[in-house]
Amino acid sequence: MEKIKNMWLNFFQGQEVNEDWWKRKKAVSRDRNVEIVRISGRGQFFEGLRYSNKITYQYLLHLSFLMKQEGQFIREEQVIPYQFRIEKGDITDHKMVEQKDVKVDTPSMEVTEIRNLADERFTYDRRAAVQYAEHWWNSYNPAYRKFDVDCTNYISQCLRAGGAPMRGMPNRGNGWWYQADNWSYSWAVAHSLRWYLSGSTAGLKGKEKESAQDLIPGDVICYDFQGNGKWDHNTIVVAKDANGMPLVNAHTDNSRNRYWSYEDSTAWTSDIQYKFFRIGE
């Protein structure tokens, strides 16, 4: 355990860590004229498995970055799952891992709440959507299922908190909805939500914007990390930095006030594509 502690102690003290995402994060910060004033963090072990004289540990690393930009201070947070093995007293195979799916009981939603909403116009409550995004960025509302890849489920919950009406049930390939133990593909699948936002003509819909700077809190960004037409991830805008650029919250990995471009993500590639959606127009 001392080796793990020393490795992250070096990170927190600002010494070089051989992680590509960290190098990109520092480069993006310089380009934004952002000073990383302080880095703090804590680890939480949640699983240890012993097999054939080897022990594999998994833990969550909660990093907090205090950022300063033109006199404005922003606290960015990120929770990264890691694992490592101990074999004959040595640490090996230390790497990031995906979080496991945790199933929870989900109460049924009232039929009256989702009836006759398909053609209704609605006023999007951006403040409520952002408040929900802030409250649940690193936890999970027990009223909904938690998915192994939870990013789109989380964004859908934020949109729902902002008043977006559901429609299309019980056909999973139609509309955008969640009900008890069933849901539309657009509710929980990143690729499906991206196309739903651009194609919907009633209820929840999105208007494509040219650039990230055009977005305001409550809007949504979709990510195609490989640039191959398969949309992998979604985030919600919760604030703007001193340059007027979006800061976003997300699940999997759980993040708060993260810079919108995601260049510090391990999934990022130079072929990345984005879609910027204004919600409620």
DSSP annotation of 104 reads -
pLDDT-derived band at 25 (thresholds 50, 70, 90) equals very high
Helical residues (DSSP H) of the chain, grouped into ranges: 2-12, 20-31, 111-114, 126-135, 151-161, 185-188, 190-199
Lowest mean pLDDT among 1-15, 55-69, 98-112, 158-172: 98-112
pLDDT in tens, 74-95: 999 999 887 777 776 676 666 6
Give me the amino acid identity at 156: S
For the chain, percent of residues with pLDDT exceeding 90: 65
- What is the rounded CA–CA span in Å between residue 272 and residue 6? 34
Question: Residue 115's pLDDT is what?
Answer: 41
- Residue 63 scores a pLDDT above 60: yes
Fold held by 102-281 = endopeptidase fold (from Nostoc punctiforme) (3.90.1720)
Q: What is the pTM of this model?
A: 0.84
Q: Which helix (H) or strand (E) holds 235?
A: strand 233-240
Please give the angle made by the CA atoms of 96, 237 and 207, to the nearest 5 degrees: 120
Nearest one of 58, 17, 21 to 225, comparing CA atoms: 21
- The more confidently predicted of residues 168 and 5 is 168
Strands 54-69 and 72-87: antiparallel
Question: Residue 113's pLDDT is what?
Answer: 37
Tokens 């403040």 locate to: 127
pLDDT in tens, 98-135: 544 333 333 333 333 334 444 457 899 999 999 999 99
Using CA atoms in the order 78, 76, 66, 46, what is the torsion angle rounded to 10 degrees?
-20
- What is the rounded CA–CA span in Å between residue 234 and residue 190? 6
- Judge whether 14 and 25 are in contact, CB under 8 Å: no
- Residue 183 scores a pLDDT above 50: yes
Nearest one of 148, 138, 4 to 78, comparing CA atoms: 138
Q: Which residues contact 149 (CB under 8 A, 6 or more apart)?
A: 98, 190, 252
Question: Residue 61's pLDDT is what?
Answer: 84
The arithmetic mean of pLDDT across residues 136-143, rounded, is 97
Instruction: Write the CA distances from 207 to 62, 101, 163, 202, 250, integer angstroms.
Output: 34, 32, 17, 12, 21
- What is the rounded CA–CA span in Å between residue 47 and residue 275? 37
- The more confidently predicted of residues 201 and 261 is 261
- What is the rounded CA–CA span in Å between residue 240 and residue 237? 8
Question: Residue 3's pLDDT is what?
Answer: 57
The arithmetic mean of pLDDT across residues 216-224, rounded, is 98
Q: Where are the domains of the chain?
A: 2-96, 102-281
Question: Residue 57's pLDDT is what?
Answer: 78
Residue 249: count of CB within 10 angstroms of its CB: 25
| Token couple for 69 | 């930009």
pLDDT-derived band at 281 (thresholds 50, 70, 90) equals confident
Largest interatomic CA distance in the chain: 64
| Token couple for 80 | 């990264």
